[in-house]
Chains A and B, each alone.
Chain A
Amino acid sequence: MPRKHRVLAGIALLGGLVLTAPAAQAQVEGGGWTSRSPGFNVQERGCGQVNNLTFTLTCSTASGDQRAERRYDTYGGGTYQFEGSFRIQSMGGTRISLKQTFQDGPSAGPFFMLAVERGGRLYAVHGGATVATGATVGATVRVNTVHQVGSQHRTYINGSQKHSYSSPSGSFYDKFGAYRTSSGQGPATVVWSGIRFWRK
């Protein structure tokens, strides 16, 4: 192959790599991400029921532990990204937590809880700040969280940054599904899809 053609072929190959590489990486917040597949266990408490990625609270009980969730493995230092979409299939209740970032270990407890009120307002359970609107029945909503452990936890709804928290260092884990908050109640059916995790 003539030298000029070899160079062009190399350029074409590089161009192809440049153009196609992002498909194998995290799609948000630049590059450097590595895909990960943390394990999880299914949590069903009270009237919570889990069927693959469909999470249902069948009762309207306003007390006790009512939850249908996936609890993923604990992660430590570094930066972690979660991506997933939820669709509220039906909701007679209100104040249902959909996505949580939990702190593990001696300081265990919910660090960030994204919940939905009747009518589709998404809010941060701690502090009550409105995160977004539009989570009406049937609408698919995309959630990305980027957690720089020891620095910051950012939440994106449908591509827009809607919330940020300072984050302590320590161990954390992701949970999602349908979980009755202390002031909430079912019934609710939430279907999640497109779940992906990365770290860097």
Chain B
Amino acid sequence: MLKSLAVLPVLALLLSACAATESASPGGALSGKLDTPVDVTLRWENTGQPVAGRVLEYANEPNGEYTVLKFLAPEETSYRHPDLIPETRFFYRLRPYYGTASPEQSVTLPEPKPGDKPEEDPHEWAVPQTLPGAPAGTQSLRANASAATPTEVKATVMTSQGIRFTWRDNASDEEHYAVEVKAGAAPAWSTAALLDPNINSFGLVTLPEERTAAYRVRAFYYGPASNVVELRTGRGKP
């Protein structure tokens, strides 16, 4: 019996050693690799049904709460997650999201006037809200994405650094609204704010580089999650 028990720690070590240092799945699914003991690169292929984008998420427990690492453009196929917590399990998954964006609007903010203190504005207009009396969306994003796209998008300059966006909620089954921005000469769109379903008014306080920028509003829903990649980090950098 003692001999049998002596085997168990060895087995435990073997099981522990099975904690992946590389995880790959066939068929264009999500794969991940430890480049160093604490740096991970995740890869996937841009294949299949066209998507509005993808969201990469991580958790530290198999059934834990997933946290978004990044909203990714459709053409992106890799992501590096650096300087990770050592000796810790990381679980990754990728989710596509679907939904078309409104036409873009370009906004140029006025230069601040002498004595102008936009930060002293109480910004009540910036709070995400569903406007009273706004009609609830009736079109399914899943069935007819174009009909469910936000319309009547209006950008109102509220201060020299703040814009209030309002729109018509046409979607009955959105999971989020996103306000997307492409500032000045920026090469790509990014997500400026992520809003709950049925929100149709939101005020964005802009960054200095966004004095002139294009904006659009997207209603979207998530598709099924990819395979889950599990990696365990090592002891860390010396």
Quote the shortest CB–CB distance from A168 to chain B (angstroms).
23
In the bound complex, how far is the Cα of B60 from the Cα of A158, in angstroms? 10
Q: Mark B84-107, 1 if CB is under 8 A from A, else 0.
A: 111111100000000000000000
Chain B residues contacting A93 (CB-CB under 8 Å) are 119, 123
Chain B residues contacting A139 (CB-CB under 8 Å) are 68, 191, 194
A9-17, A67-75, A100-108, A123-131: which one contacts chain B? A9-17
Contact A15 B119 (CB under 8 A): no
Chain A residues contacting B123 (CB-CB under 8 Å) are 60, 90, 92-93, 187
Q: How many residues of B contact A (CB 8 A)?
A: 51
Contact B122 A59 (CB under 8 A): yes
Contact A85 B67 (CB under 8 A): yes
Q: Mark B35-73, 1 if CB is under 8 A from A, else 0.
A: 000000000000000000000001011101101111000
A3, A23, A90: which contacts B128 (Cβ < 8 A)?
A90
Q: Provided the pairs A22-B89, A156-B85, A159-B90 are in contact, do residues A14 and B11 lie with their beta carbons within 8 angstroms?
A: yes
Contact B87 A11 (CB under 8 A): no
Chain B residues contacting A15 (CB-CB under 8 Å) are 11, 15
Q: Provided the pairs A19-B15, A92-B162, A160-B83 are in contact, do residues A14 and B90 lie with their beta carbons within 8 angstroms?
A: no
Q: Is B192 an interface residue (CB 8 A)?
A: yes
A29, A119, A138: which contacts B194 (Cβ < 8 A)?
A138
Quote the shortest CB–CB distance from A138 to chain B (angstroms).
3
Q: Is A27 an interface residue (CB 8 A)?
A: yes
Q: Is A136 an interface residue (CB 8 A)?
A: yes
In the bound complex, how far is the Cα of B206 from the Cα of A136, in angstroms? 11
Q: Is B193 an interface residue (CB 8 A)?
A: yes
B64, B67, B127: which contacts A90 (Cβ < 8 A)?
B127
Chain B residues contacting A30 (CB-CB under 8 Å) are 86-88
Tell me the interface secondary structure of chain B in the complex: mixed
Q: Mark A124-165, 1 if CB is under 8 A from B, else 0.
A: 000000000010111111101000000000001011111000
Contact A62 B120 (CB under 8 A): yes
Q: Is B188 an interface residue (CB 8 A)?
A: no
Chain A residues contacting B83 (CB-CB under 8 Å) are 160-162
Chain A residues contacting B69 (CB-CB under 8 Å) are 158-159
Chain A residues contacting B86 (CB-CB under 8 Å) are 29-30
Chain A residues contacting B176 (CB-CB under 8 Å) are 138
Interface members, chain A 1-57 (any B CB < 8 Å): 3, 6-7, 10-11, 14-15, 18-19, 22-23, 27-31
Q: Is B126 an interface residue (CB 8 A)?
A: yes
Chain B residues contacting A181 (CB-CB under 8 Å) are none
**23 cross-chain CB contacts under 8 A:** A11-B11, A15-B11, A22-B89, A23-B62, A27-B88, A30-B88, A59-B122, A89-B128, A90-B128, A136-B191, A136-B192, A137-B195, A137-B202, A138-B176, A138-B193, A158-B58, A158-B69, A159-B81, A160-B85, A161-B83, A187-B124, A187-B126, A193-B65
B residues bordering A, Cβ < 8 Å? 4-5, 7-8, 11-12, 15-16, 58, 60-62, 64-65, 67-70, 81-90, 119-124, 126-128, 162, 176, 191-196, 202-207
Told that A29-B86, A185-B119 touch, could you supply 14 new A-B pairs with CB distance under 8 A?
A: A19-B15, A29-B85, A93-B119, A136-B192, A137-B128, A137-B195, A138-B176, A138-B194, A140-B67, A142-B67, A159-B69, A160-B81, A187-B126, A193-B65
A residues bordering B, Cβ < 8 Å? 3, 6-7, 10-11, 14-15, 18-19, 22-23, 27-31, 59-60, 62, 85, 89-94, 118-119, 134, 136-142, 144, 156, 158-162, 185, 187, 189, 193-194
